[in-house]
Structure 1
Amino acid sequence: MKLYKSDFLANDGSLLNVLRVALPLILSSSCHAVNMFMDRLMLTRYSQPSAAAALTSGLTSFTLQCFFVGAVGYAGTFVAQYSGANQSRRVGTAVWQGIFMALAGAVFMAFCCLWVPYLFAALGHEPAVEEQENIYFRYLALGAAVFLLQQALSCFWSGRGKTTMVLMVSIFVTLLNLPLNYMFIYGKWGAPEMGTAGAALGTILAALGGLIIYAVGFFALKSSRRHFGTCSNIWDWEMLCRMLKYSSPNGAQLLMDLAAFNVFILVLSLYGVKVQEASSIVFGINNLSFCPIMGIGMTASILVGQAVGAKDIPHAKKSVRNARTLMLIYMSLMMALFIFWPEIVLDPFVRTGDAEQVEVIRLAKVMLLFVAAYLFGDGLVLVYSNAVRGAGDTKYIMNLTIIMAWGVFAIPCIIMRLLGCSVWYLWGCMSFYVLLFGLFCYLRYRGGKWTKMKVIEDVD
């Protein structure tokens, strides 16, 4: 069957054209980073137990739902390849299969509320920290439906390269999130003072606002219904099975990666509340570098997906090269910031008059040096793993993640803790793992197997 190039592929894959797609996603991911940064900042200023609990319980919540995050998000690859192949009537159906997976994820997260408190109890954290961990997790788990459905509907725009819409919604969510969190955490403007619970509630309500906008654009607009079949051909068992075939490894990869990282965070928490708080601050700051590169990674996936759908591999390769260039520029700036001017990002977290926090900030400065050491590895992982997954090469990345995340990272960290090693050995292990992982993702891309893959069917 003959497939025709979409209008999108009229561009030449140049750096400027890649940036046109990437910039809204970079800014959108940056909005997410700002949300998380401000959550951590407000909770750090609110109380030490809240700050310490936010990282552990927040990461646990995301780890448990990240299989569905990866699976639901992969609907965007189907949208991209159908768009590249000019099969626009299949786009709406692809998004619907993502919606069904999002609903399944919401049910699973509600069930997790029954047993996760026992996990936190087993960690032996201070009672005040454990209490806040349970509160924060419960809100985030019950609000998972909002986050997952928002992600599913966003694929309708991101997969087609219409990333400005994603940016506009992200800005709207951030503009809601900041005042709502402030209001509910500190009890301002007539709201009750909810502390940790207020941070979660504000985040959920802001995400709900974004979900409503996406829902209106997907369901209510006549152009969406007419051109993309958003309200017809809702159920497609064959497509759902095919999507599960490719998205399940994608979700499992994210689950294994985040589970290993969660083990790292939990092991760090065993070194005391000061190390735990410093880690919470540093990973909040790390999102400033990580989340924008997620936008570049998503761009690589979108452009590869559309090019594969149109059978234009040279276009895909050129787009990936330019996505890598954007990554290197941004990561160089972040590395310089973390090494030479850490006070710029650490000073907002300082609690006035808290002498005990001096040691926390000192630890955080050292941790930022380890973050700077692995930044380029992070960038290689996000650009090249997303590039090959955009074509359908999800199983290799899943297998690589399982081997690397556990064999090189999580299990060695547990062993080092049992042997009584310093916390800096664990941070060194993390830096080595990320850099090595990035190298293997690059080698897989260079191998070229992804150029012979696709996830969509041939349509007569």
Structure 2
Amino acid sequence: MHQISYFNILIYGAVISLVRNSLSCYFSGIGRTKVVMVATLGALVVNVVLDYVLIFGKFGLPAMGIEGAAIATLCGSAVAVVIFLMAYLSRYNRAVFAVGRSWRLDWGVMRKLVWFGLPAGVEMLLNFMAFSAMIMLFHSRGMVVGTASTIMFNWDLVTFIPLLGIEIAVTSLVGRYMGAGQPALAQRSAISAIFIGIGFTMVVFVFFVFFPNLLVELFRPNTPDATFDQSIPLAVGMIRLASLYVLSEAVMVALVGALRGAGDTHFTMILSVSAHWLFVPVLYVMFNLLDMSALMGWLALVIIFLLFCVALIWRFRSGKWKKIKVVA
């Protein structure tokens, strides 16, 4: 019931999310990523403050619980949209990009947006579905496995989010350099991003290999929990296995960003969706037909992820992305 209440409120903000995402992509595309950062931080601050006020009923307001959390999220997104619009309609932006003349439907531009943008949207939708299916398969193995896999996936998400910033930057730079007819600079941008990402993932690697117990203990509940205690060895093993691919994550985000920035969105969609949906039947067979352990299932996912990274390297080195014309 809580999920339904939360969703029923968030659905009213679908248009807000659409506008926010569109403007975020616009500013990333023109290289003004600081605007994106300010808007995101503004949304975060408003969300956190209103979460405290609305969920727990502070300053004379009633305690709204999960409904308050949903309203706080909508308000945070609305603040981000306001910040984006202020920057979009600013005198500088109107002068440089002729914003006033852009309020018309251009079918040529629309066709390109659909052709190059639709694969990325479909990719995200299908990958989220596959990811949800993977989580459910792990949780089907019981509470202990479910707890361990939740801890692992949370740390995986936390370490991956900073790399998304690198991906966005590479997409922006490669798009601009390819549009300017400078594929060599586009390639250098991708290589530089790989080295930056490796610097970050080296820190993650150290924590995953040498301090997995510390990472797991951060999730320990306030009250004694036998299920959590039983899940510790499995969660530690999963985190250590994840160290096998954390360095390759830096390569992956840089190459995905480069390929998308160059307009190679159809290949990245096919490859990414295929890899994610390969996870699902592999896990199903390992868990339900071969009755293998959750640790072996996680190892299989790590191996598939590494193969996915190898395929990206092959595509990037082939140079086919340099021949795509996004802007004629």
What's 1:63 paired with? none
1:411 equivalent to 2:276? Answer no
What's 1:160 paired with? 30
What's 2:203 paired with? 333
Contact preservation (8 Å) 2:170, 2:257? yes
- Aligned partners of 2:61 and 2:284: how far apart in 1? 43
What's 2:235 paired with? 364
- Aligned partners of 1:180 and 1:272: how far apart in 2? 36
The one-character-per-residue Cα deviations of 1:194-247 (angstroms, maximum 9, x if unpaired) are 44444433222212211111112213x222223213233321122111110111
The one-character-per-residue Cα deviations of 1:148-197 (angstroms, maximum 9, x if unpaired) are 31111122321111112222222222222223233344444444444444
1:246 equivalent to 2:110? Answer no
1:70-149 paired onto structure 2 within 5 Å: 131-149=1-19
Contact preservation (8 Å) 1:296, 1:383? yes
What's 1:10 paired with? none
- Aligned partners of 1:147 and 1:211: how far apart in 2? 8
What's 2:267 paired with? 396
How far 1:300 sits from its partner (Å)? 1.2
- Aligned partners of 1:281 and 1:304: how far apart in 2? 35
Contact preservation (8 Å) 2:35, 2:87? no
Partner secondary structure for residue 222 of structure 2:
coil
- Aligned partners of 2:209 and 2:61: how far apart in 1? 40
2:72 is aligned, of 191, 197, 202, to: 202
- Aligned partners of 2:8 and 2:146: how far apart in 1? 21
**Residues 1:257 and 1:331: Cα distance change in structure 2 (over 3 Å):** same
Aligned-residue CA RMSD in angstroms?
2.2
**Residues 1:199 and 1:150: Cα distance change in structure 2 (over 3 Å):** same
Unaligned runs of 5+ in 2: none
What's 1:215 paired with? 85
What's 1:21 paired with? none
1:374 is aligned, of 245, 250, 253, to: 245
How far 1:254 sits from its partner (Å)? 2.1
What's 2:174 paired with? 304
What's 1:74 paired with? none
* Stretches of 4+ aligned residues off by more than 6 angstroms: none
**Residues 1:374 and 1:143: Cα distance change in structure 2 (over 3 Å):** farther
Q: TM-score, normalised by structure 1?
A: 0.65
What's 1:453 paired with? 324
1:315-354 paired onto structure 2 within 5 Å: 315-354=185-224
Q: Which amino acid aligns with 1:412?
A: V
Contact preservation (8 Å) 1:301, 1:387? yes
- Aligned partners of 1:283 and 1:390: how far apart in 2? 28
- Aligned partners of 1:350 and 1:304: how far apart in 2? 43
What's 2:255 paired with? 384
Contact preservation (8 Å) 1:150, 1:210? yes
What's 1:229 paired with? 98
Q: Which amino acid aligns with 1:380?
A: V
Q: TM-score, normalised by structure 2?
A: 0.90
**Residues 1:157 and 1:436: Cα distance change in structure 2 (over 3 Å):** same
How far 1:343 sits from its partner (Å)? 4.7
Q: How many residues align?
A: 325
Contact preservation (8 Å) 2:234, 2:295? no
**Residues 1:192 and 1:378: Cα distance change in structure 2 (over 3 Å):** farther
Q: Quick check: 182-191 or 303-312, which moved more?
A: 182-191
Unaligned runs of 5+ in 1: 1-130
